[in-house]
């Protein structure tokens, strides 16, 4: 199941994508009114049982349109679905709420037919009106969301029209190469949210104080309980539309309990105490957990290099309230390049990831076999070269060991990161130590993830951050980060026009790639964007860890990939008897 098209702010270094589902099912549920369900492949399983997991930090919202971070989109992934979804194993786009689609010869018109008999978890029918309402909300400038960034073609929104109760037609301003990769936004129920939207209260709707039963979706589960800093509980959706290969209505597991913990160490302790059923193993823990498989009655799955990224970013936003001289540092390419040379990626790989990672210099992961460009500018660890590049930019280290700019200001700033991610704190500390050797006065300030996100997307009051982003197969899904107008263009978001020539170039390449159907030409455009990012280093990348997960052996149909996570096929996951 796919929760969002746009790039997301990532809480943890690696994200387990759960595709979880109201009430217990009969042994062999019938399918009245659902003649065309989607068949999920896997061993025929048993019904019943509870899946126990945990999440670091509370969500920020239960509104799927407003959610921009994995603490919110993770639990919402149990509740909402799109017209299409990505197969976690093949990475191919497949039908979801839509049973089929057709494309016009000019590549500008896409017609989707909804599955017959679809119902929301409150029993109301899902119709084309819900799809139209969803896109009306997404494109409303009053509604802050990441989807509107990626759902534009040549700067124009996609036109959405109802053909009949089950059919929706999308028309793009130009042919749109990544259309299927971005159209799978979570569909929301018009009958539950239209009144609030018309009253101008949509942004205050489905907050954390909403009774869980009010959250209505089409996903495999419905939320029945949320207690701040304690837990979320989900129960099986009896109206869910997927079936197994024998025609039995899914999901198999009746109940999901998500315990909210303060950090990943607490998650680890819960798993080791047998109180959760899965754990995203950090690379430095891999050897220990692998040795403990038999005693712990679990299996550690290896997904290879992850799609996400970990990086240092400086605030270049003129509306941030930073002193002009600090903005000048952060807006200077040579300053950022010098810092990139001062990042000891091998130390990060060895000390943080226990060798289970690779160096990263650009915005795409080698896990993306098609769009990854290995020929980007690299910054091997070299403090002497970093010092020379700083000198070229007018910075000088005095006899007192303090680095100053050309006007005599000492170079000092604060690196923020989320305290609940020990790996990220360790990365920030390694970077801080090397920057100190260059004469910079750097303070490390860990804080809660949600506080960090508020600074990033609302107040803009920060200097530098060590953060992460989720990744994906098509770079277009990250244009909310890379286009100058993007809401997650984090060093200076929502620019009215590109602040620099290189940002204008990236905008141009993303626009060209979006309006090109030929995938090889799209790859060439995205190669150019990756090279610009590596040369300008708005994000200073560190290392890409391998993705690992430990899952109790009592579960069947576990198929783990770095792209889909351990539970992309959760509806067919079952408890063995």
Q: Please give the DSSP secondary-structure letter assigned to residue 362.
A: S
Please state at what angle helix 519-536 crosses helix 333-341, rounded to 10 degrees.
90
Q: How confident is the model at residue 18 (pLDDT cuts 50, 70, 90)?
A: very low
Asked if 570 contacts 23 with a C-beta cutoff of 8 angstroms, the reply is no
Here the tokens at position 399 are 């006899």
The bridge status of strand 278-279 relative to strand 396-397 is: unpaired
Q: Please give the DSSP secondary-structure letter assigned to residue 249.
A: B
Asked if 468 contacts 311 with a C-beta cutoff of 8 angstroms, the reply is yes
Distance linking the first and last C-alpha atoms of the chain: 26
Q: Look at 95 and 22; give whichever has higher pLDDT.
A: 95
Question: In this model, does residue 435 exceed pLDDT 70?
Answer: yes
- Residue 477: the pLDDT is 86
Report the candidate in 558, 577, 575, 576 with the shortest Cα–Cα distance to residue 18.
Answer: 558
Q: How confident is the model at residue 6 (pLDDT cuts 50, 70, 90)?
A: low
Report the candidate in 418, 417, 422, 392 with the shortest Cα–Cα distance to residue 405.
Answer: 392
Which residues lie across from 432 on neighbouring strands? none
Q: Write the pLDDT tens digit of every residue in 175-201.
A: 999 999 899 999 999 999 999 999 999
Question: In this model, does residue 544 exceed pLDDT 60?
Answer: yes
Here the tokens at position 213 are 């039963």
- Range with the poorest average pLDDT among 16-25, 109-118, 138-147: 16-25
Q: How confident is the model at residue 567 (pLDDT cuts 50, 70, 90)?
A: confident
How many residues in the chain? 577
How many CB atoms sit inside 10 A of residue 417's CB?
A: 27
How many CB atoms sit inside 10 A of residue 216's CB?
A: 20
For 510-558, what is the HEC assignment? Answer: HHHHHCCCCHHHHHHHHHHHHHHHHHHCCEEECEEEEEEEEEECCEECC
- Residue 566: the pLDDT is 67
Q: What is the mean pLDDT of residues 559-577?
A: 87
The bridge status of strand 543-552 relative to strand 357-359 is: antiparallel
Q: What is the mean pLDDT of residues 95-124?
A: 96
The bridge status of strand 309-314 relative to strand 539-541 is: antiparallel
Q: How confident is the model at residue 155 (pLDDT cuts 50, 70, 90)?
A: confident
Phi, psi of 400 (to 5 degrees): -80, 0
Q: What is the mean pLDDT of residues 464-487?
A: 90
Q: How far apart are CA 199 and CA 74, in angstroms?
A: 29
- Range with the poorest average pLDDT among 157-161, 235-239, 262-266, 505-509: 262-266
Question: In this model, does residue 427 exceed pLDDT 80?
Answer: yes
Q: What is the mean pLDDT of residues 517-530?
A: 95
Report the candidate in 267, 313, 263, 257 with the shortest Cα–Cα distance to residue 9.
Answer: 313
Rounded to the nearest 10 degrees, how much is the dihedral formed by the CA atoms of 199, 203, 205, 208?
Answer: -160
CA 291 to chain centre: 31
Contacts of 548 (CB under 8 A, 6+ apart): 14, 280, 281, 282, 283, 286, 289, 300, 301, 302, 303, 356
Q: Please give the DSSP secondary-structure letter assigned to residue 83.
A: S
Question: In this model, does residue 293 exceed pLDDT 60?
Answer: yes
Q: What is the mean pLDDT of residues 47-64?
A: 95
Contacts of 169 (CB under 8 A, 6+ apart): 109, 110, 111, 112, 160, 161, 162, 163
Q: What is the mean pLDDT of residues 65-84?
A: 92
Q: What is the mean pLDDT of residues 127-151?
A: 94
Here the tokens at position 384 are 């002497």
Q: Look at 491 and 2; give whichever has higher pLDDT.
A: 491
Asked if 31 contacts 115 with a C-beta cutoff of 8 angstroms, the reply is no
- Residue 133: the pLDDT is 98
How many CB atoms sit inside 10 A of residue 298's CB?
A: 24
CA 468 to chain centre: 9
Q: What is the mean pLDDT of residues 339-366?
A: 96
pTM comes to 0.78
How far CA 27 is from CA of 119, 251, 352, in Å, comes to 21, 12, 47
Q: How confident is the model at residue 34 (pLDDT cuts 50, 70, 90)?
A: very low
For 280-325, what is the HEC assignment? Answer: CCCHHHHHHHHHCHHHHCEEEEEEEECCCEEEEEECCCCCCCCCHH
Beta strands in 368-508 (DSSP E): 396-397, 403-404, 412-418, 441-447, 464-469
Query: H-type helices in 69-205, by residue range?
Result: 70-76, 128-139, 147-150, 179-182, 190-198
Average pLDDT of every residue of the chain: 91
Q: How confident is the model at residue 8 (pLDDT cuts 50, 70, 90)?
A: low
Burial of residue 436, with CB atoms counted within 10 A of its CB: 0-12 exposed, 13-18 middle, 19 or more buried: middle
Asked if 134 contacts 192 with a C-beta cutoff of 8 angstroms, the reply is no
Burial of residue 445, with CB atoms counted within 10 A of its CB: 0-12 exposed, 13-18 middle, 19 or more buried: middle
Report the candidate in 26, 232, 33 with the shortest Cα–Cα distance to residue 119.
Answer: 33
- Residue 517: the pLDDT is 86
Q: What is the mean pLDDT of residues 7-16?
A: 46
CATH number of 309-545: 3.10.105.10
Phi-psi region of 439 (alpha: psi -120 to 50; beta: other; left: phi over 0): left
**Percentage of residues in the chain having pLDDT higher than 90:** 79
Q: What is the mean pLDDT of residues 82-90?
A: 90
């Amino acid at each position: 199941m796919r929760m969002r098209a746009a790039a997301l702010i990532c809480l943890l270094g690696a994200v387990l994508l759960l595709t979880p589902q109201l009430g217990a099912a009969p042994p062999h549920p019938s399918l009245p009114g659902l003649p065309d369900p989607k068949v999920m492949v896997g061993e025929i399983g048993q019904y019943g049982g509870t899946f126990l997991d945990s999440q670091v930090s509370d969500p920020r919202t239960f509104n799927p349109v407003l959610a921009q971070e994995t603490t919110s989109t993770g639990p919402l992934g149990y509740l909402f679905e799109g017209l299409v979804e990505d197969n976690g194993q093949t990475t191919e786009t497949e039908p979801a709420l839509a049973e089929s689609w057709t494309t016009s010869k000019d590549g500008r018109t896409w017609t989707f037919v909804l599955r017959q008999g679809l119902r929301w978890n409150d029993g109301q029918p899902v119709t084309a009106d819900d799809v139209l309402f969803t896109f009306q909300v997404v494109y409303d400038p009053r509604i802050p969301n990441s989807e509107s960034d990626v759902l534009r073609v040549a700067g124009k929104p996609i036109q959405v029209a109802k053909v009949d109760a089950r059919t929706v037609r999308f028309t793009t301003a130009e042919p749109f190469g990544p259309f299927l990769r971005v159209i799978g936004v979570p569909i929301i129920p018009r009958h539950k949210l239209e009144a609030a939207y018309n009253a101008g209260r949509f942004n205050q709707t489905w907050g954390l104080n909403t009774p869980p039963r009010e959250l209505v979706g089409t996903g495999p589960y419905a939320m029945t309980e949320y207690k701040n800093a304690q837990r979320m509980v989900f129960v099986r959706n009896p109206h869910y539309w997927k079936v197994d290969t024998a025609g039995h209505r899914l999901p198999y597991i009746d109940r999901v309990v998500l315990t909210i913990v303060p950090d990943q160490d607490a998650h680890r302790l819960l798993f080791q105490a047998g109180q959760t059923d899965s754990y995203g193993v950090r690379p430095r823990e891999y050897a220990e957990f692998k040795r403990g498989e038999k005693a712990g009655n679990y299996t550690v799955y290896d997904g290879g290099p992850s799609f996400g990224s970990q990086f240092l970013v400086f605030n270049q936003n003129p509306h941030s309230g930073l002193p002009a001289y600090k903005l000048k540092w952060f807006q200077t390419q040579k300053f950022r390049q010098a810092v990139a040379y001062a990042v000891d990626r091998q130390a990060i790989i060895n000390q943080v990831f226990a060798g289970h990672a690779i160096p990263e210099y650009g915005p795409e992961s080698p896990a993306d076999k098609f769009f990854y460009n290995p020929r980007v500018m690299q910054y091997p660890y070299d403090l002497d070269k970093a010092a020379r590049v700083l000198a070229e930019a007018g910075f000088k280290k005095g006899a007192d060991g303090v680095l100053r700019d050309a006007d005599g200001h000492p170079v000092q700033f604060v690196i923020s990161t989320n305290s609940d991610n020990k790996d990220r704190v360790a990365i920030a500390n390694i970077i801080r130590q090397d920057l100190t050797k260059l004469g910079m006065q750097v303070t490390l300030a860990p804080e809660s993830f949600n506080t960090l996100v508020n600074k990033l997307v609302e107040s803009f009051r920060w200097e530098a951050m060590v953060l992460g982003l989720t990744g994906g197969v098509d770079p277009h899904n990250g244009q909310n980060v890379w286009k100058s107008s993007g809401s997650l263009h984090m060093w200076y978001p929502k620019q009215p026009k590109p602040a620099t020539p290189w940002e204008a170039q990236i905008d141009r390449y993303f626009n060209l790639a979006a309006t090109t159907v030929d995938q090889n030409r799209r790859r060439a455009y995205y190669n150019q964007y990756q090279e610009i990012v590596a040369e300008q280093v708005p994000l200073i990348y560190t290392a890409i860890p391998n993705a690992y997960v430990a899952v109790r052996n009592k579960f069947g149909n576990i198929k783990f990939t770095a792209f889909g996570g351990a539970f992309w096929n959760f509806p067919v996951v079952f408890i063995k008897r």
